[in-house]
Every structure is written in C-alpha cells, then in structure tokens.
C-alpha cells in the first residue's frame, strides 16, 4: 500500500503488540488543518494514519509505537487503549463543522488500510471500533454516517441484521432486571457499562455510541427492541 510520510513526534513506546483498531474522524474544517495539528509537537495528539477524502493515506506514527489518539477510554476492561491500538484519523469536519458522508474513495482506502494492518497484527473483527465506542461520554466519532456495514462486508468489523424485535423501550431513569441485562450485554460486547440495574446518563451515552455504530438510523440513547436485538445478535456473532 502507498503511504505519504508525514512524521508526527507525538508517540512513545508500546508495552504490548496492538490488538485493536480505533477509527476517528478528524473533526476539523480541512484535512491539511488536521494533519498540521496531528504533527505539531505542542498538540500532544497523533494517530498512526490519516486518510484524506480523496483516498490519500498519510503515515504519521510507526505501528510499533504508541500514538496518542484515544485519550481517556476503555474497551473490554482495558483502559490503556493507546497502548494496544492502532489509530486511524479519517478526514471529516465532524458534527461541529458540517458533518457529511464519507466519500467512496476515502472508505475504499480505509478498507485497504485495514486489510494491510491485519496482515501484521492479530486484530479480531470485534476489536475494530470507533472513538465513540471506547469513550462514549466524550466522543461521537466517526459518527452515524460512517459506513460500518460496508467495512464489515469487506471483511473488517462486525455487522448484523436481526429481525424486528418487539418490546418496550428502556430509557434514562428506568430501573430493573431489564436494565441490568442490557448493561451486562454492553459490557460483554466491550463497552464500559458495569451493570447496576439503573439506566443512568452513562448508560444512555453507551446506547447512543452503540447506535451510532450499529443502528445509525436512530441515535437517541433509548434502548428500543431493535437496539437490544442488534446487541444480542452481535454478542452471538462475536462469541
């Protein structure tokens, strides 16, 4: 795969090999503006790669080094996400500056990049996630317009299409066994959502992150029947 070298100084040593990929959007007005920030020593942020809208791929940090892209985050009980992940920044202005669909050329490049990365590291489909998945209360990216289904169809990541599921929706303020089971399911999938039986603001943030990834047509933080059906199907697919 062809890369444009654009070295960032913002990295340190890894202690374990990467077994996770975290996808981001840049959330800045332009790609050059994002690239400048990712390569500026005083920004203290970076990623291993940045993918432009036209499909160009910039290599910023060697995969064997720990880039600084995820911040305070968690997946499957692990909290040093930077230490065990490869971070890919995907150029898009994001929700703050005019969020828009990701061009075909850009997604094709992301798919090719994922395939390339996975020739070197053992990364399971269930460990290809978004920034919002690992930091649901802080982040929204890469957001509900990102085509996770297309990635999964190309062999990278999880996607399910369960039948419609009945059942009363669960929302913030509710309590009980149904909420406990929902939280346990999210925790098993990988989210930081310790079961308490109380649908609090954190649980709502996890539901929104889950919906942005696996139910993008409805991102409201309410666990309706289809949201729960997709969670159950994903747990079966990742077992």
pLDDT in tens, 116-151: 999 999 999 999 999 999 999 999 999 999 999 999
| Percent of residues in the chain assigned helix, strand, coil, to nearest 5 | 35, 15, 50
- Please report, rounded to a whole number, the percentage of residues in the chain having pLDDT higher than 70: 100
103-125 core/surface letters (b: 16 or more CB in 10 A; e: else): eeebbebbbbbbeebbeeeebee
Mean pLDDT for the chain?
A: 97
CB 181 within 8 A of CB 231: no
pLDDT band per the 50, 70, 90 thresholds, residue 106? very high
Per-residue confidence (pLDDT) for residue 164, from 0 to 100:
72
- Measured between alpha carbons, how far is 200 from 171 in angstroms, rounded to an integer? 9
Q: List, by residue number, the catalytic residues.
A: 89
Give the mean pLDDT of 79-89. 98
Q: How many residues does the chain have?
A: 239
- Please report, rounded to a whole number, the percentage of residues in the chain having pLDDT higher than 90: 96
- Measured between alpha carbons, how far is 73 from 95 in angstroms, rounded to an integer? 20
pTM of this prediction?
A: 0.97
Per-residue confidence (pLDDT) for residue 100, from 0 to 100:
98
Q: State the first-to-last Cα distance of the chain, in angstroms, to the nearest integer.
A: 32
Please give the structure tokens belonging to residue 212. 């942005």
């Amino acid at each position: 795969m062809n890369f444009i070298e654009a070295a960032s100084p913002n990295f340190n040593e890894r202690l374990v090999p990467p077994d996770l990929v975290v996808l981001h959007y840049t959330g800045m007005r332009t790609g050059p503006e994002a690239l400048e920030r990712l390569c500026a020593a005083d920004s203290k942020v970076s990623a291993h790669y940045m993918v432009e809208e036209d499909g160009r791929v910039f290599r910023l940090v060697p995969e064997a080094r720990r880039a600084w892209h995820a911040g305070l985050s968690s997946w499957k009980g692990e909290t040093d996400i930077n230490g065990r992940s490869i971070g890919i920044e995907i150029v898009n202005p994001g929700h703050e500056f005019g969020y828009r669909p990701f061009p075909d050329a850009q997604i094709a490049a992301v798919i090719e990049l994922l395939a390339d990365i996975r020739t070197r590291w053992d990364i399971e489909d269930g460990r290809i996630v978004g920034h919002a998945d690992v930091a649901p209360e802080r982040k929204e990216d890469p957001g509900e317009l990102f085509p996770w289904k297309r990635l999964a169809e190309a062999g990278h990541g999880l996607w399910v299409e369960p039948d419609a599921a009945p059942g009363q929706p669960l929302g913030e303020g509710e309590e009980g066994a149904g909420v406990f089971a929902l939280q346990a399911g999210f925790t098993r999938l990988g989210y930081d959502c310790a079961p308490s039986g109380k649908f609090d603001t954190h649980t709502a943030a996890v539901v929104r992150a889950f919906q942005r990834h696996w139910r993008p047509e409805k991102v409201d933080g309410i666990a309706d029947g289809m949201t729960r059906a997709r969670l159950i199907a994903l747990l079966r697919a990742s077992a």
